[in-house]
């Protein structure tokens, strides 16, 4: 039996904003996301 599995995950901006809001790091969620984007180059 051959199984083919294809799926994709889409994480929207509100998802990352919610994670950033729960982060113990200092700063606003927006500042945390900006810092992440700079560090990762995305």
Quote the tokens at residue 36. Answer: 């992440």
What was the pLDDT predicted at 42?
Answer: 84
Q: Are 32 and 20 in contact (CB under 8 A)?
A: yes
What is the per-residue pLDDT across 4-38, written as a single tens digit (0 to 9) for each? 998 889 999 999 999 999 999 999 999 999 999 99
Distance CA 14, CA 27 (A): 17
What was the pLDDT predicted at 11?
Answer: 92
What was the pLDDT predicted at 38?
Answer: 96
| DSSP-assigned letters across all residues of the chain | ------------HHHHHHHHHH--SSS-HHHHHHHHHHHHT-
pTM across the whole model: 0.68
Q: Residues 6 or more apart from 36 whose CB is under 8 A from it?
A: 20
């Amino acid at each position: 039996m051959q199984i083919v599995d294809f799926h994709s995950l889409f994480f929207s901006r509100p998802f990352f904003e919610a994670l950033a809001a729960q982060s113990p790091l200092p700063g606003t969620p927006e500042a945390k996301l900006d810092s992440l984007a700079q560090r990762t180059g995305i």
